């Protein structure tokens, strides 16, 4: 009997090209590219979202987690039964915890003790050794990132994956997400835009699309409030102090990470998206497309609309749908929480019915 293909993209280079996939790692990637009808029709352009929430660990960071662990394996830095250590409060930790279970490694996650019990519980259910530490700034040696590095240095057969400055992160997207987008659009793409945390997604995809198109595809960075990257790009390299905050999680940055540094000079531009627009888009995408997305995905779609408007009708723009709303629903769909952020008025009247909590 023939086994029907589970995924509809052929020729996946980085992962698997069989009609079935061999285990968790091989189930990462080959995500659908979703045509976003409502925003496309409004702009007269074609706007697509890469459905990274369909990765088996639930986010775009599954690719980075696998890429970081694979790179360490290939360089002989970790042997069977070893330990993977990272400082992370979010999706990278979840991706690493899954990949470690699937590959038989121990997983140790350092995180600030301000994080929700839900996140800690999930990581522990996935078998990770979670170590909440006092939430102190990066320049304090007790910061969770430094503690993760030190812990890995002091035990044998252990690696600190260092997602921000280890360019195996961006390389995972160069080898997988970039080629998938090129193939899925048949190379007919004018612009790519997304927000960044480590910079891995933007840099890896950006590099691939620019190379493949002979620099015809423009790559733009979208930033949440409280991040310094827009001002860095638009002021040609001046870093300002970080100030302000955003409801989006996992994106925004106060420095140029090594991953972003591999591509930042090739960006066509950057702009900031206010939370009011991101939250309105989050509700609109649910209402019009049935997509239940996290706030960074909504910000990315706002940015894609803005880019389509800058390019004019007829353009094709791609962005990333990073993860689902499930990990944030107690906030994003709570009337009280929205009001506490001053965002209740940003949601159009006919969409308020979705704020049921
Ligand atoms: N959105 C979410 C929800 C994330 O967790 C992350 C990762 N921090 C990103 C976007 C940004 O991805 P990257 O680290 O590759 O820049």
Q: How many CB atoms lie within 10 A of CB 342?
A: 10
Helix (H, G, I), strand (E, B) or coil at 30: coil
pLDDT band at 15 (very low <50, low <70, confident <90, very high): low
Q: For the segment 150-194, what is each residue's pLDDT rounded down to a tens digit?
A: 999 999 999 999 999 999 999 999 999 999 999 999 999 999 999
DSSP string covering 114-159: TS-HHHHHHHHHTT-EEEEE----TTSTTSHHHHHHHHHHTSSSEE
Q: Residue 38 pLDDT > 80, yes or no? A: yes
The ipTM (two decimal places) reads: 0.99
Q: Residue 352 pLDDT > 80, yes or no? A: yes
Q: For the segment 190-208, what is each residue's pLDDT rounded down to a tens digit?
A: 999 999 999 999 999 999 9
Q: For the segment 92-114, what is each residue's pLDDT rounded down to a tens digit?
A: 999 999 999 999 999 999 999 88
Q: For the segment 110-123, what is each residue's pLDDT rounded down to a tens digit?
A: 999 888 888 899 99
Specify the pTM.
Answer: 0.94
Q: How many CB atoms lie within 10 A of CB 214?
A: 7
Q: Residue 81 pLDDT > 60, yes or no? A: yes
**Contacting residues for 236 by C-beta, under 8 A, at least 6 apart:** none
pLDDT at 348: 96
Tokens of 110: 């350092």
Q: For the segment 236-282, what is each residue's pLDDT rounded down to a tens digit?
A: 888 898 888 999 999 999 999 999 999 999 999 999 999 999 999 99
Tokens 């409502």 map to which residue?
A: 38
Q: For the segment 298-342, what is each residue's pLDDT rounded down to a tens digit?
A: 999 999 999 999 999 999 999 999 999 998 999 999 999 999 999
- Which ligand 1 atom sits nearest the alpha carbon of residue 249? 3
Average pLDDT over residues 129-146: 92
In whole angstroms, give the CA distance from residue 251 to residue 54: 19
**Catalytic positions, written as ranges:** 61
pLDDT at 52: 98
- Which ligand 1 atom sits nearest the alpha carbon of residue 199? 16
Write out residues with Cβ below 6 Å of ligand 1. Answer: 59-61, 90-91, 196-201, 249-251, 294, 296, 322-323
User: Which of 198, 252, 267, 319 for mutating ligand 1's site (highest number of atoms within 8 Å of CB)?
Assistant: 198
| CA R_g for the chain | 20
């Amino acid at each position: 009997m023939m086994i029907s293909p589970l995924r509809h993209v052929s020729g996946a280079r980085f992962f698997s090209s069989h009609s079935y996939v061999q285990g968790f790692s091989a189930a990462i990637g080959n995500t659908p590219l979703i045509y976003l009808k409502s925003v496309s029709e409004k702009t007269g352009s074609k706007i697509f979202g890469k459905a990274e929430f369909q990765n088996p660990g639930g986010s775009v960071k599954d690719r980075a987690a696998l890429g970081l662990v694979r790179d360490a394996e290939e360089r002989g830095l970790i042997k069977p039964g070893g330990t993977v250590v990272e400082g992370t409060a979010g999706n990278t930790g979840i991706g690493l915890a899954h990949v470690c279970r699937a590959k038989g490694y121990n997983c140790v996650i350092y995180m600030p003790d301000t994080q929700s019990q839900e996140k800690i519980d999930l990581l522990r259910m996935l078998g990770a050794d979670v170590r909440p530490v006092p939430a102190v700034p990066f320049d304090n040696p007790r910061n969770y990132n430094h503690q993760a590095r030190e812990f890995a240095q002091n035990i044998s057969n252990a690696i600190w994956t260092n997602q921000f400055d280890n360019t195996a992160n961006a390389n995972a997207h160069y080898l997988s997400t970039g080629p998938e987008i090129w193939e899925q659009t048949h190379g007919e793409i004018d612009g790519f835009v997304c927000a960044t945390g480590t910079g891995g997604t933007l840099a890896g995809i950006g590099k691939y699309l620019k190379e493949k198109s002979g620099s015809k595809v423009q790559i733009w960075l979208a930033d949440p409030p409280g991040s310094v990257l827009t001002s860095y790009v638009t002021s040609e390299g001046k870093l300002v102090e970080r100030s302000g905050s955003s409801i989006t999680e996992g994106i925004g940055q106060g420095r140029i990470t090594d991953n972003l540094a591999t591509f930042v000079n090739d960006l066509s531009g950057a702009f900031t998206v206010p939370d009011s627009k991101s939250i309105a888009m989050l509700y609109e995408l649910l209402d019009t497309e049935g997509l239940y997305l996290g706030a960074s995905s909504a910000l990315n779609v706002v940015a894609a609309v803005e880019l389509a408007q800058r390019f004019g009708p007829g353009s094709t723009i791609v962005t990333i749908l990073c993860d689902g709303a499930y990990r944030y629903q107690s906030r994003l769909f709570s009337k009280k929480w929205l009001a506490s952020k001053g965002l209740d008025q940003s949601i159009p009247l006919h969409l308020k019915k979705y704020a049921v909590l």
